[in-house]
Amino acid sequence: SLHTTTSGRRPHPPGPSGIPVLGALPLVGPAPHTGLASLARKHGPVMYLKMGTCGVVVASSPGAARTFLKALDARFANRPAMASAADITYGCQNMVFANYGAKWKLMRKLSSVHLLGPRALADWARVRRDEAGRAVRGMAESARAGRPVAVAELLVCALANIVGQITVSKRVFDAQGDESNSYKEMIVSLLTGTGMFNISDFVPALSWLDLQGVQAKLRRVHSQFDGLITKLLAEHAATAHQRAREGRLDFVDKLRASNDQDEEGETITEVNIKGLIFDMFTAGTDTSSIIVEWAMAEMLKNPSIMARAQEEMDRVVGRERRLEESDIANLPYLQAVCKEAMRLHPSTPLSLPHFSFEECEVDGYRVPANTRLLINIWAIGRDPSAWEEPLEFRPERFLPSGPAAKVDPMGNNFELIPFGAGRRICAGKLAGMLFVQYFLGTLVQGFDWRLPDGEEKVDMGETFGLALPKAVPLRALVTPRLVPDAYA
């Protein structure tokens, strides 16, 4: 038949042929999400290519994502061994890069029960309200001083303080400034380093050369980060008695306690604990802040969208008090803005790589065992067969009367999968959604926004890594719009 080669085996899905050794790597270019999207326009939504010695399959349409993350989800639930990942994640003993197996399951379950599931999230509401309050006070101060607000830095700082409190009972940064800047730099270097198409990962024979210098840089940043985590854990140990006496255990306390219950013979080691803290600080902070920053940039570019969002705030919340999380359900336009920002600016454009256990068949083609799977979330959100005017920032499409009213981003509708889908879907999707809605809402309700004098246009360029932040961080001037008491 058409799909049988002379050897009697089915062929791989279509794709570009590359050059010796590097394969298709040079075709992908420095911004792989766009490079792979243009290759997919030529070769199709299920594309197979060689990157170095590795086989890679790329899904670039909602239908292709459904095939891999629903029909074939179990077979692709592993993670590839990546040199750049092993260097920064305690040899993949964290959750994000763990192989699909009993240890991963246990880490995921404990994280959900004690940190990221609906009940745990409700328990930490006070921490989020507190940090949003501090952020708002800091912004009111910037307003008085006529100083622009650096949106991403402000948010990363607030989110890291939330993560610090719920994992190890510690606010990690007292104020914005040098300390939070260096922390943000650490995260950014880690995310850009891991997301980069690292030649060593694809051509293991060349890995000792570290051609791009990625691993050396990652190892440096990682040892800095490990220093921070080690210090936090030492302080944490010193105050364990007090927390036990007062009955207010944090995530790390609960992880340790879970070992006494001997879950199916699996235990959480001290290295796993470090790995999980690392995951929460990296996966849990810059992802949400990137989306809020993009949403603010889009609204500064489109003032009528900002006006509509603020009009909704005035009607539903008023100006006498700050937004609360319980208001979000009554703010459909805010929700629509968040979805639209996630569609056009997903924080992890190629998701995280998956890896197949065994050979399988897709649309009559053969995908071998040990193939990497990339889901081009970025291209899917801009797919013209799924979205009207895909490049326009138009929150109205998600309103109850709009064409995408029923599309939710939680992994059920494959045209919008900012958190991925299936077994490996983002473990923090509820927290991420809440962070984005609550913090974006707080910024929009609390302040009027304008660009600093002399800046006429918002720069909308992207920087590619594992995450996709704005190339130029957004800075803007704010004016309070609530009664003064609301900022106290």
Which residue numbers belong to the known binding site for heme?
Answer: 426
Report if residue 415 touches ligand HEM, rule: CB under 6 A: no
**Residues 268 to 307 in contact with ligand HEM, rule: CB under 6 A:** 279-280, 283-284, 287-288, 291
CB of 303 to ligand HEM, least distance (A): 25
Instruction: Compare residues 379 and 486 and give the one whose CB is closer to ligand HEM.
Output: 379
CB of 436 to ligand HEM, least distance (A): 5
Question: How many other β-carbons are positioned within 10 Å of the β-carbon of residue 451?
Answer: 16
Report if residue 356 touches ligand HEM, rule: CB under 6 A: no
Q: Among 47, 65, 172, 427, which residue interacts with ligand HEM (rule: CB under 6 A)?
A: 427
Q: Among 418, 441, 446, 469, which residue interacts with ligand HEM (rule: CB under 6 A)?
A: 418
How many chain residues interact with ligand HEM (CB under 6 A)?
A: 27
- Cα–Cα distances in angstroms (integers) from residue 224 to residues 86, 98, 228, 231, in the given order: 16, 22, 7, 11
Report if residue 436 touches ligand HEM, rule: CB under 6 A: yes
Residues 6+ apart with CB under 8 A from 41: none
Cross-strand partners of 54:
51
Identify whether the C-beta of residue 236 lies closer than 8 Å to the C-beta of residue 248. no
Q: Among 57, 72, 96, 313, which residue interacts with ligand HEM (rule: CB under 6 A)?
A: 96
CA gap 66, 52 in Å, rounded? 27
Instruction: Compare residues 23 and 381 and give the one whose CB is closer to ligand HEM.
Output: 381
**Residues 141 to 200 in contact with ligand HEM, rule: CB under 6 A:** none
Handedness of CA 367, 66, 418, 395 (dihedral sign): positive
Instruction: Compare residues 414 and 487 and give the one whose CB is closer to ligand HEM.
Output: 414
| 3-state SS, residue 259 | helix
Report if residue 428 touches ligand HEM, rule: CB under 6 A: yes
DSSP 260: G
Report if residue 439 touches ligand HEM, rule: CB under 6 A: no
Report if residue 424 touches ligand HEM, rule: CB under 6 A: yes
Which residue is nearest to ligand HEM, using beta carbons? 428
Question: Where is the binding site, in residues?
Answer: 426
Long-range contacts of 391-394 (CB under 8 A, 24+ apart): 391/344, 393/298, 393/301, 393/302, 393/305, 393/340, 393/341, 393/344, 394/340
Tokens (6 digits) for 31: 């911004």
43 by Cβ neighbours in 10 Å (0-12 / 13-18 / 19+) ranks as middle
By CB under 6 A, name the binding residues for ligand HEM: 95-96, 108, 116, 279-280, 283-284, 287-288, 291, 347-348, 351-352, 418-420, 424-428, 431-432, 435-436
